[in-house]
């Protein structure tokens, strides 16, 4: 099992850190040095029963035993730091590999994952494996090496008694193996319940404001209690179900010691065994059984670690979005949709109930012009923009930027060409400066400030307690929606990509912030290929081109004036929005 876990860890991290292997070698040496005093004890007992001991011999044996203890401490002092450093380096590399792999997965994969389950794999599962490698592996190897060396020594002293010592171990190992089999189902239940409980807690904390405002505390609390109770029961089952077999494992080991006493007394009585040899076996068999019992208990943790490794490896086995062997550079920045078909559900059963998000869509978005995408909710507007950025791959057809299929450009090169500003702005824990620099990590402070000026963000940033060095809370909760939006625009300005994708950036901000954001967007859009999702049609009536989507199909295309003259869906949407502006609340 140890070898299998080590191979899994090597696959997970993608490297074999030599420090870990050297540290395990020192752990084996530590086990040998822990068993070495037994030879000195044997010689000491021989001298006691022969009556040949002198003070000089006693001092010599005492010094040699003390030396063994010192050397054992030295082996641990050298080996454990090697194991720690090697294990932490490998698990750090594993975390980087997983993070990089997640970056290459299609966004649809994340939608199919429970946040609690994915979070459990990336936190508790990885922590369990890291603890196994750093704190458990060396102790396990050393603890296993010591009884092995002791048994070899006992075989050298008297093979008959050594076989008696070993006689009960096979039956004990069978009980241990059965305890692991019994624990298999509860451990699977426990890991599932743990993921469910994490999801429930996360949902409860994130939705606490909604829970309070709608008075649904009782129902949500009951769901949370149910999930936590299941987690509690699963944890109890993991401990209780294998307990009888673990007790049988310990009992069979202890039975071996009883057999040793009886066999030793029998052979001592018929004169084929010396008292010193029997005493040595009675003394050394105890640590053998004690160490084997501890090692047996720890194998349950190895089973959990193996399951955790399997769950983590499943992430690395998820199919990534394909990358071209030889990326092609786009020749220009126009965007062409060529009979694009895309659906979020890919199996036949789901496709019967979930219509395609885009169906046979063909259009051209000219370079260095503003193209607006409008339509009712669920028309496919966000899908169209996300496909340009290749957050998903199309099912049929192709999307070309500068004459090159986005799948042939390569994800990294494509994202160098595209900047995105969406309605929901994500800010990370860190300074304002670092959040803007996400668009260009090597940008100077002066470049960041210039981008903030152009994004209409400099004034409110300077008003913060430490200006650009102010540390933001997670998600930028201390900033208003308009301020977060302007930081997002500053990122895009700093990135200076030739293609700009905009979700309605002013849909959820107040009118005073809307004017500033509109000026920032106008600055950002200058000289770029711009695709904007529009909910308020008045904001895009001067667009060079307007695409009208409905139920995943492109039904109208043209300028504002041309679309109004067609008297179709766009004209009806425009009329309704104009009428809505006249709505007023009146007293009864």
How far, in Å, are 17, 255, 469, 524 from residue 213 at the CA level? Answer: 53, 65, 35, 38
Torsion of CA 489, 494, 495, 497, to 10 degrees: 80
What pLDDT shows up at residue 347?
43
Q: What is the pLDDT averaged over residues 163-172?
A: 87
What pLDDT shows up at residue 555?
93
Evaluate if residue 434 carries a pLDDT over 70: yes
Same domain, 216 and 345: no
Evaluate if residue 17 carries a pLDDT over 90: no
Same domain, 312 and 352: no
How far, in Å, are 339, 374, 549 from residue 394 at the CA level? Answer: 10, 20, 17
Give CA–CA dist 558/544, Å, rounded: 8
Same domain, 313 and 339: no
- Judge whether 557 lies within some domain: yes
Evaluate if residue 401 carries a pLDDT over 90: yes
What pLDDT shows up at residue 126?
80
Q: What is the pLDDT averaged over residues 120-137?
A: 76
- Judge whether 100 lies within some domain: yes
Q: Are 334 and 404 in contact (CB under 8 A)?
A: no
Q: Total domain count for the chain?
A: 2
User: Which has more pLDDT, 300 or 127?
Assistant: 127
Same domain, 343 and 265: no
Q: What is the pLDDT averaged over residues 336-363?
A: 75
- The CATH number of the domain holding residue 262 is 1.20.1560.10
Q: What is the pLDDT averaged over residues 107-120?
A: 70
Residue 125 is given by DSSP the state I
What pLDDT shows up at residue 562?
92
What pLDDT shows up at residue 118?
76
- Judge whether 110 lies within some domain: yes
Same domain, 309 and 363: no
What pLDDT shows up at residue 136?
74
Same domain, 313 and 242: yes
Same domain, 60 and 165: yes
Evaluate if residue 220 carries a pLDDT over 60: yes
pLDDT tens digits along 522-580: 777 788 898 988 888 887 888 899 999 998 999 999 999 999 999 999 999 999 888 87
- Judge whether 327 lies within some domain: no
Same domain, 283 and 356: no
- Of the pLDDT bands very low, low, confident and very high (cuts 50, 70, 90), residue 352 is very low
- Judge whether 324 lies within some domain: no
Q: What is the pLDDT averaged over residues 298-314?
A: 75
How far, in Å, are 133, 144, 475 from residue 138 at the CA level? Answer: 8, 10, 41
Burial (CB < 10 A; 0-12, 13-18, 19+), residue 85, is: middle
Same domain, 139 and 279: yes
Evaluate if residue 335 carries a pLDDT over 90: yes
Q: In what order do the strands lie in the sheet with 553-558?
A: 418-421, 499-502, 529-533, 370-374, 545-550, 553-558
Burial (CB < 10 A; 0-12, 13-18, 19+), residue 280, is: buried
Ranking 124-133, 297-306, 510-519 by mean pLDDT, the lowest is: 510-519
Same domain, 301 and 339: no
Q: Which domain holds residue 525?
A: 335-580
Query: What is the helix (H) or strand (E) element at residue 85, kind and residue range?
Result: helix 55-104
Q: What is the pLDDT averaged over residues 31-49?
A: 80
- Judge whether 370 lies within some domain: yes
Same domain, 388 and 295: no
- Judge whether 585 lies within some domain: no
- The CATH number of the domain holding residue 472 is 3.40.50.300
pLDDT tens digits along 445-497: 999 998 888 888 888 999 999 999 998 876 677 788 788 888 888 888 888 88
What pLDDT shows up at residue 472?
85
User: Which has more pLDDT, 328 or 4?
Assistant: 328
Q: What percent of the chain has pLDDT over 70?
A: 89
What pLDDT shows up at residue 364?
94
Evaluate if residue 435 carries a pLDDT over 80: yes
Q: What is the pLDDT averaged over residues 154-177?
A: 87
Among candidate residues 317, 351, 369, the one where a domain is terminated:
317
pLDDT tens digits along 181-208: 887 778 778 877 887 787 777 777 767 7
User: Which has more pLDDT, 351 or 346?
Assistant: 346
What pLDDT shows up at residue 341?
93
Among candidate residues 266, 291, 317, the one where a domain is terminated:
317
How far, in Å, are 17, 22, 217, 552 from residue 83 at the CA level? Answer: 9, 8, 48, 56
Cα-atom radius of gyration of the chain, to the nearest Å? 35
How far, in Å, are 509, 515, 538 from residue 512 at the CA level? Answer: 8, 6, 17
Same domain, 123 and 272: yes
């Amino acid at each position: 099992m140890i070898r299998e876990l080590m191979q899994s860890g090597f696959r997970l991290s993608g490297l074999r850190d030599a420090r870990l292997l050297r540290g395990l070698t020192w752990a084996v040496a530590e086990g040998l040095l822990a068993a070495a005093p037994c030879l000195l004890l044997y010689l000491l007992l021989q001298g006691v029963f022969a009556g040949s001991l002198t003070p000089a011999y006693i001092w010599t044996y005492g010094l040699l035993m003390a030396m063994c203890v010192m050397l054992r401490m030295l082996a641990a002092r050298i080996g454990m730091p090697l194991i720690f450093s090697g294990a932490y380096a490998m698990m750090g590399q594993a975390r980087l590999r997983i993070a990089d792999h997640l970056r290459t997965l299609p966004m649809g994969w994340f939608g199919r994952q429970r946040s609690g389950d994915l979070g459990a794999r990336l936190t508790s599962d990885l922590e369990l494996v890291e603890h196994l490698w750093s704190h458990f592996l060396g102790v396990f190897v050393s603890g296993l090496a010591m009884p092995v060396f002791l048994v070899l020594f006992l075989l050298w002293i008297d093979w008959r008694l050594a076989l008696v010592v070993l006689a009960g171990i096979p039956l004990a190992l069978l009980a241990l193996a059965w305890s692991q089999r019994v624990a298999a189902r509860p451990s699977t239940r426990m890991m599932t319940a743990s993921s469910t409980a994490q999801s429930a807690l996360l949902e409860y904390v994130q939705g606490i404001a909604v829970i309070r405002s709608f008075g649904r505390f009782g129902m949500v609390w009951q769901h949370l209690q149910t999930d936590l109770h299941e987690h509690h029961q699963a944890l109890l089952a993991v401990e209780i179900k294998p307990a009888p077999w673990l007790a049988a494992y310990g009992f069979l080991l202890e039975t071996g010691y009883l057999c040793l006493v009886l066999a030793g007394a029998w052979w001592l009585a018929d004169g084929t065994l010396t008292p010193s040899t029997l005493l040595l076996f009675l003394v050394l068999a105890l640590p053998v059984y004690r160490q084997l019992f501890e090692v047996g208990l720890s194998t349950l943790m190895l089973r959990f670690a193996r399951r955790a490794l399997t769950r983590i490896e499943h992430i690395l086995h998820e199919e990534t979005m394909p990358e071209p062997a030889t990326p092609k550079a786009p020749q220009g920045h126009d965007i062409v949709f060529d009979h694009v078909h895309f659906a979020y559900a890919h199996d036949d059963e789901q496709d019967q109930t979930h219509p395609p998000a885009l169906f046979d869509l063909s259009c051209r978005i000219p370079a260095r012009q503003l193209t607006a995408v409008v339509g009712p909710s669920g028309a496919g507007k966000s899908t169209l923009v996300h496909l340009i950025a290749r957050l998903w791959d199309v099912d049929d057809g192709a999307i070309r930027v500068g004459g090159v299929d986005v799948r042939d450009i390569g994800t990294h090169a494509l994202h160098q060409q595209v900047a995105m500003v969406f309605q929901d702005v994500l800010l990370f824990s860190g300074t304002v400066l670092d959040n803007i620099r996400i668009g260009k990590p090597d940008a100077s402070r002066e470049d960041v400030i210039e981008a903030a000026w152009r994004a209409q963000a400099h004034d409110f940033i300077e008003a913060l307690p430490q200006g650009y060095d102010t540390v933001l809370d997670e998600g930028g909760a201390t900033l208003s929606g308009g301020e977060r939006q302007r930081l997002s625009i500053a990122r895009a300005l700093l990135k200076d990509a030739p293609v700009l994708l905009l979700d309605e950036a002013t849909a959820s901000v107040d009118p005073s912030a809307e004017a500033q954001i509109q000026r920032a967007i106008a600055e950002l859009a200058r000289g770029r290929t711009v695709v904007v999702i529009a909910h308020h049609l008045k904001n895009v009536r001067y667009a060079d081109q307007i695409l009208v989507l409905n139920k995943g199909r492109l039904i109208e295309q043209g300028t504002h004036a041309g679309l109004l003259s067609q008297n179709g869906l766009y004209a009806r949407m425009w009329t309704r929005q104009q009428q809505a502006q006249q709505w007023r609340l009146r007293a009864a």
